[in-house]
Amino acid sequence: MRFEKVLAIQNSIVPEMSNLIMKRYNLLKSLKSHQPIGRRMLASKIGMTERVLRSEVEILKDLGHIRIESSGMRLSKAGEKLLVDTEELIYNMKGLKDLGNQLKEKMGIREVSLVEGDSDDDDIIVKDMGKKASLIINSLLEDDMKIGIMGGTTMACVADEMEYNRKVRNIMVVPGRGGLGEKLEIQSNTIAAKLAQKLNAEYKLLHVPDNIQPELLEALRENPQIKSVLDEIKKIDMIVFGVGTAMEMAERRGMSELKKDELKLKNASAEALGYYFDSNGIPIMHTDSVGIDLKDINSIKHVICIASGKNKAEAIYAFSKYYKDYILVTDEETAKEILKLN
């Protein structure tokens, strides 16, 4: 009997079972991300009353999945294994495979990989996306590969969630573009260095800010140190990046009011890889910096985009109209939002 059929029968006979599984799964997942943690704080994070949480914790403790310590609650080894085993069950219960296939067909892209939940409501979902992306990266890694990675909070999660890999050899990691204007921990240089450490790889850094005056760009490109990094970027086999809404990214990059007005006039929708796109996926402007060139994306073997947020649905969809041969990692609610778009 197919698993979907078993679930349908279960929901017909014991409809409350699915809700109970989801409740305990979310409890265990939140506990893992914030451990050690007290009951009151955990109840607040998952939107559960302390009384209900106390009852659930006692059950899970008696089953051997939670340890109570003086510093707070922690998952036991059995609890950690249960959490991993339950993820596939949740994926099937919520029909995420079908949802991912629908999104892949609508966007016409290479692959869609979904995580359960809504990143707008729960920061843990961004970590889950980072974990999912790190597993995809690891599955595609080969000896002698060159990897480019962009900056941003989600990319930082990819590096944080990456497991140490000592099996592949002669890996090089580089930042996809310059960009020194943001907080250190989400700059592409920082993320590239951390990812390289996890992969036992070499790395090169690109010490160039965004929005450089055009007359300085050519001189920078000829700088020997910068040129050596740009040469590596030209040869990357994998690029990992995000998609943002055009105006939010323009604001973050400190774009001039004149250029922001130009973006609005051209109905800018998305930003990716330092380029701005309208809702039809047509590039309309790019950031004055150095790094990956949009025209080079067709020669990159593995293109991985990680993006979520219902407010980014139009931006993610717009980018897919420009380029198709990539893997998208997003969350359940963003996928549903994209499917609503014309």
What was the pLDDT predicted at 28? Answer: 93
Distance (Å, rounded) from C-alpha 286 to C-alpha 151?
16
Q: Is residue 179's pLDDT more than 70?
A: no
CA dihedral 313, 319, 320, 325 (to 10 degrees): -130
- Tell me the percentage of the chain whose pLDDT exceeds 70: 97
Residues 251-282 have pLDDT tens digits of 988 888 999 999 999 999 999 999 999 999 99
Residue 291 DSSP symbol: B
Residues 6+ apart with CB under 8 A from 153: 126, 186
Residues 316-325 have pLDDT tens digits of 999 999 999 9
Burial of 208 (0-12, 13-18, 19+ CB in 10 A): buried
CB 260 within 8 A of CB 239: no
Q: Where in the chain is the domain with CATH 1.10.10.10?
A: 3-93
Q: Where in the chain is the domain with CATH 3.40.50.1360?
A: 96-339
Residues 49-89 have pLDDT tens digits of 999 999 999 999 999 999 999 999 999 999 999 998 888 88
What was the pLDDT predicted at 180? Answer: 56
Compare 48 and 172 and report the one with higher pLDDT.
Answer: 172
- Tell me the percentage of the chain whose pLDDT exceeds 90: 71
Q: Is residue 1's pLDDT more than 70?
A: no
CATH 3.40.50.1360 fits 96-339, yes or no: yes
pLDDT band at 171 (very low <50, low <70, confident <90, very high): very high
Mean pLDDT computed over 137-146:
97
Q: Is residue 178's pLDDT more than 80?
A: no
Q: What is the CATH number of domain 3-93?
A: 1.10.10.10
Compare 122 and 180 and report the one with higher pLDDT.
Answer: 122
Mean pLDDT computed over 208-223:
77
pLDDT band at 91 (very low <50, low <70, confident <90, very high): confident
pTM of the model: 0.89
Mean pLDDT, the chain, whole residue set: 92
What was the pLDDT predicted at 96? Answer: 93
Q: Where are the alpha helices (DSSP H) in 153-245?
A: 153-161, 188-198, 214-221, 224-234
pLDDT band at 196 (very low <50, low <70, confident <90, very high): very high
Q: Is residue 100's pLDDT more than 70?
A: yes
pLDDT band at 336 (very low <50, low <70, confident <90, very high): very high
Residues 6+ apart with CB under 8 A from 116: 87, 90, 91, 94, 96, 125, 128, 331, 332
pLDDT band at 129 (very low <50, low <70, confident <90, very high): very high
Measured in whole angstroms, the distance separating CA 229 from the mean position of its chain's CA atoms is: 25
Mean pLDDT computed over 202-213:
83
What was the pLDDT predicted at 181? Answer: 61
